[in-house]
Amino acid sequence: VAGGRKPSGHKNRSVQKSDDVYLGLLVKLYKFLARRTDANFNKVVLKRLIMSRMNRPSMSVSGVARMMKGHEDKKIAVVVSTITDDVRIQEIPKMRICALRFTESARARIIKAGGECLTFDQLALVEPRGTNTILLRGKRNAREAVKHFGTPGAPG
């Protein structure tokens, strides 16, 4: 539009901006799955793979364990970000988790508990339509910077 004004329309990112080749391959895979399957799960995963790192906050092992209570043996937790270790939780249950990355200590603890760490290409083979999965995400507003937003002195 003349004058450089952007017309309102698509606000979400539609293409990957990262230079990560492996992430690019996952985007390619999930673009295919989103198109060829009628499962909404693949569309959501694709959207999250394309997101910036700031919009893909990490999640701790304890957070996943809390959300998976009662489903540990039946379902796979899917997190489109990094899984980090949490020293505040002594014992973690046996869980199957799919994530982009795992910290070394988080991976070791999950495997030690008898769980499984999956990558997204492995998940596409096991559950191509996303059935028997629980899609989770970290708290986006947990960033330290968010504390300083808004009027100084205002509550919240």
Task: State the chain's mean pLDDT as an integer.
Answer: 94
Average pLDDT over residues 8-24: 89
Q: Are 101 and 86 in contact (CB under 8 A)?
A: no
Task: Report how far apart, in Å, the C-alpha atoms of 75 and of each of 38, 79, 86, 153 are.
Answer: 20, 13, 21, 44
For residue 74, what is the DSSP state? T
At residue 88, φ and ψ (nearest 5 deg) are: -75, -20
The CATH number of 54-139, from 3.40.50.360, 3.40.50.300, 3.30.460.10, 3.100.10.10, is 3.100.10.10
What is the per-residue pLDDT across 102-118, written as a single tens digit (0 to 9) for each? 999 999 999 999 999 99
How is the chain split into domains, by residue range? Answer: 54-139
Is the pLDDT confidence value at 133 over 80?
yes
What is the per-residue pLDDT across 33-77, written as a single tens digit (0 to 9) for each? 999 999 999 999 999 999 999 999 999 999 999 999 999 889 999
Strand partners of residue 133: 76
